Structure 1
Amino acid sequence: MRSASANIVLDALYESILRLDDGARLPTVRDLMKTYRVSQATVQDAINRLRDEGLLTSQVGRGTYVVKGGGAGPVQAGGRPEAELDSLVILSNASMNERCTMVQNAIMQDMAGDGRKVVQISYHHTDHLLEILRSIPDFDAAILQSHYESIPIRLLHLLQQKTRALVVDGHTVSGVDIDRMGTDWEDALELALGHLSGLGHQSFGLVSLDTMAQPILAVRRAFSRHGTFEGGRRAYFEPIMLEGIRHPTLGTEDALGRALAGLVDADGKLPFTALITVGISDTLGLRQCLARMGVDCPRDLSVTVLGHHDVPAEHLGDMTVAGSSQREAAEKLMETIGRRLAEPDLAPQIVYLHCEQVVRRSTAAPRPAAG
């Protein structure tokens, strides 16, 4: 039996639906709570009831809309449209960085505002994760966040069985019919090199994770090709892999210090005036390493991070970053899920995020050569 407050909200929404046109957007859950002075649970219960009756539908990441004339799309047993996203599981390796956390939080806030369900699972042992997934109910959709590690095929297959939409956040899978989204890091590299060259730099270094993951490997190869194609007009030093640093969140200060120590000359100078990093989230460790070596950034060395320009742990307020946005990533993940739910037979989607460069204080023109 519904409470009086629940009846008030439900009746008011019925009246609104009668007045509104097909496709009209309802107020947000928070607005309805304020208007009728009821709890979030009361509003969500009313919306869920109307959604089950086919009078409302939710557009992923956009809101709740009025449906008239049976336009809510195919309906499953139980009265819920098949194209609706009501439950989502987000999986991430235990080594996830701040960008992954920010993407998860944005999606969770978006879905929770409409009364939908989100489960977040951080895992370290794949077999244990598989046991957990087999023991829980199915979800409408799943997001698998991949850092530069490989993804077991058995995990992908199980997630396909447990959901109607699966998206891999990262381009670490290939040859598999699965939707995936990621950043074109080669594009980000070109932005960084264009900016640094425009400042007058003629010698470049590249530091990356110690991994053969395809996105990182592609950047190292593209960087090296520049030296070949430019015929010696600029110097591109051999890419540096930070020994033992295989995940973005691992500390870089000591590993980078060891790698750069063998490159400095008798005057303590590095052979390049500009440095680009890829796959590294520990920008603080990078900065601390340079400070310990007595390398002033940007006076002695300009540094550009290939990463996410709206993640504070990566830009630290003063690092130039070329790459993608965590906010756009959250939006594109939800859009990709929405298309898959609406069109189950759609060919696998490969979504590239827009690359942009945000210039900050870590890059500047190189100092004139002495003498």
Structure 2
Amino acid sequence: MNVTATSTELDQYLAGLARAARPGDRLPTVRELMRRFGVSQMIVQRAIDALKTRGLVEAQVGRGTYFRAGADAPPAPPAAARAPAPRSVLLLRRSIGIVRGRVLLEGLQRRYAEAGQRVLEVSYTDPEHARTVLKGLPHFDAGVVQSSFKTITIELLAALREKCDVIAVDGAALVGADVEAVGMEWGEPLARAVELLRRQGHRRIAFASSTQPFLATQLAQRRLEALREQGGLELQAIGVPCLPDEDYAGALIEQLRALAGADARLPFSALVAWGIEDGASLRERLAQAGWPVPEALSVVLLGRTDLVNEHAGFFTTVGCRVADQIEQLHAAIAARWADSARPYAVHLIPVALREGESVAPFSEAVPRVRASRR
């Protein structure tokens, strides 16, 4: 940390308060200033003593420090010379190899760096580790936290609240909390994927997602139930018992093998799959298992339409763009900086579609390829 730069920002902040203060206005406490600027008590006290020497403030025992009546505050510089102090942003990410999370944070870093803001990225392995890391950090104007499919504990939120004026969560995981959440509700993309397949003649469609109870995918399951009630389609849910950062595609293949008949045919002609991190690997594994796409199985992915690692330049993908999530996170934080009294909200990313080659019109003459059982 550049202590000299930080103490200069503290001096500038106090000078600005002195210019705008009315007689009797109270200074922030020493502890508040230490937390905000990440400096020691000695540095804060030195800055306040400088104000006292200039006759700008006075201390009252038991009450605090106040701006004096008739104090000769320094004049404000010309408007053209004034520049807003740079904001500080903490990016807190769980250290796993999810490409989407890496791309999102790099995009946020670029946005804030272009605006002259200060950004610190910190990785953590679990909530307890994150709390330990946070203890040694200064105060930030905003913090963005990525949980990447793991629980954000109440204790971690409390630790973030102590360190950050604004908290934004990457993902629509928290509702009704004093955080800005930006993420995806997967019910609408699922409905669009099913409709796309229906228009191609498919009537038996499966939807695969993790068995972990994520809010976003649970909303998709509710949408699946609603689509079933409409009739005209046979819709099947497939639970994948792991997370996308694990061997998710391998677990999905095993679930498909368990559903295949003796002739290796699946009880559906199309699959909508959420949670695929490596589209090229999924395509290869499906072919090896006896279900080449789209000859034997049409597939639509629920994911990010602007990530090549997911759609692999091949899969039709319905979901969202990481670029849109970056913009919405940036906008949500900026809006709260501008108006701290505004209601907290869950910001849902617009649905996007990328058409690929993984969907074919339904045909009864699907090749009967015996799936490998290894």
User: What's the TM-score bracket when you normalise by the shorter of the two chains?
Assistant: 0.7 to 0.9
| Cα distance in 1, alignment partners of residues 96 and 348 from structure 2 | 23
Structure 2 CA distance, aligned partners of 1:80 and 1:156?
32
- How many residues align structurally? 290
Note the C-alpha offset of 1:283.
Answer: 2.7
- Structure 1 residue 262 displacement after superposition: 1.7
Question: Which amino acid in structure 1 is aligned with residue 344 of structure 2?
Answer: P
Asked if 1:318 corresponds to 2:317, the answer is no
The 3 A distance-change label for structure 1 pair 177 and 96 is farther
One-letter amino acid matched to 2:227: H
Partners of 1:91 and 1:274 in 2: how far apart? 38
Which residue does the alignment assign to 1:229?
230
Q: 1:304 aligns with which of 281, 285, 300?
A: 300
1:350 aligns with 346
Residues in 2 aligned to 1:164 and 1:310: alpha-carbon distance in whole angstroms: 31
Contact 1:299–1:366, Cα closer than 8 Å, also in 2: no
SS of the residue corresponding to residue 319 of structure 2 reads: strand
Following superposition, the deviation at residue 131 of structure 1 comes to 1.5
Contact 1:209 1:242 in 2 (8 A): yes
Aligned position for 1:112: 113
Q: Which residue of 1 aligns with 2:96?
A: 95
How far 1:92 moved relative to its partner? 1.6
| 1:213 equivalent in structure 2 | 214
Task: Give the Cα–Cα distance (whole angstroms) in 2 for the partners of residues 80 and 158 of structure 1.
Answer: 31
The letter for the 1-side match of 2:220 is: V
Closer, same or farther in 2 for the Cα pair 1:179/1:139, shift >3 Å? same
CA pair 102-205 structure 1, distance change in 2 beyond 3 A = same
Look up the match of 1:25: none
Residue 70 of structure 1: how far off its partner (Å): 5.3
Distance 1:85 1:190 in 2: 43
Q: What residue in structure 2 maps to residue 64 of structure 1?
A: none
Alpha-carbon distance in structure 1 between the residues aligned to 2:285 and 2:89: 40
- Report the CA distance between 1:317 and its aligned residue: 0.6
The aligned counterpart of 1:121 is: 122
- Corresponding position of 1:136: 137
Unaligned runs of 5+ in 1: 1-67, 73-78
Conserved? CA contact 2:278–2:312, under 8 Å: no
Whole-angstrom distance in 2 between the partners of 1:221 and 1:369: 33
- The aligned residue for residue 12 of structure 1 is none
CA apart distance, 1:85: 5.6
Shift of 1:217: 1.8
For 1:351 and 1:177, the matched residues in 2 are separated by 13
Say whether the 8 Å CA contact 1:85–1:338 is kept in structure 2.
no
> Are 2:150 and 1:149 equivalent residues in the alignment?
yes
Q: What letter is aligned with 1:242?
A: V
Q: 1:32: which partner in 2?
A: none
CA distance in 2 between partners of 1:269 and 1:85 (Å) = 61
Task: Tell me the secondary structure at the aligned position of residue 89 of structure 1.
Answer: strand
Counterpart of 1:275 in structure 2 is 271
Q: Does 2:221 correspond to 1:241?
A: no
Distance 1:111 1:86, change over 3 A: same
1:299–1:367: 8 Å Cα contact kept in structure 2?
A: no
Q: Which moved more, 1:118-127 or 1:302-311?
A: 118-127
Spell out the pairing of 1:35-50 with structure 2 (5 A cutoff): none
* Gaps in structure 2 of 5+ consecutive residues: 1-76, 367-374
1:271-327 Cα deviation digits (max 9, x unpaired): 111101123323334223211111110111111111110011111011111011101
* Comparing 356-365 and 170-179, the one that deviates more: 170-179
Whether the 8 Å contact between 2:202 and 2:270 is mirrored in structure 1 is yes
What is the aligned partner in structure 2 of residue 61 from structure 1? none
CA-based RMSD of the aligned residues comes to 2.2
Percent identity reads 27
SS of match in other structure, 1:221: helix
Where does residue 265 of structure 1 map in the other structure? 261
SS of the equivalent of 2:259 reads coil
- Cα distance in 2 between the residues matched to 1:115 and 1:359: 38
Match of 2:40 in 1: none
Q: Distance in 1 between matches of 2:86 and 2:349?
A: 22
- Cα distance in 2 for partners of 1:138, 1:125 equals 21
1:334 to 327, 330, 333: 330
1:310 is paired with a residue of what secondary structure?
A: coil
Q: Which has the larger radius of gyration?
A: 2
1:367 and 2:363 matched: yes
TM-score w.r.t. the length of structure 2 is: 0.73
With the length of structure 1 as denominator, give the TM-score of the two structures: 0.73
Contact 1:320/1:363 (8 A) holds in 2: yes
Question: After the TM superposition, which segments of 4 or more aligned residues of structure 1 sit over 6 Å from their partners?
Answer: none
- The farther-off stretch of 304-313 and 126-135 is 126-135
- Give the superposition deviation at 1:205: 0.6
Please identify, of 153-162 and 202-211, the stretch whose mean Cα deviation from structure 2 is larger. 153-162
2:311 alignment partner AA = H
CA distance in 2, matches of 1:129, 1:339: 26
Q: Is the 8 A contact 1:143 1:167 kept in 2?
A: yes
**In structure 1, distance between residues paired with 2:326 and 2:192:** 23
Structure 2 SS opposite 1:161: helix
**CA spacing shift, 1:282–1:211, aligned 2, 3 Å:** farther
CA distance in 2 between counterparts of 1:143 and 1:96 reads 18
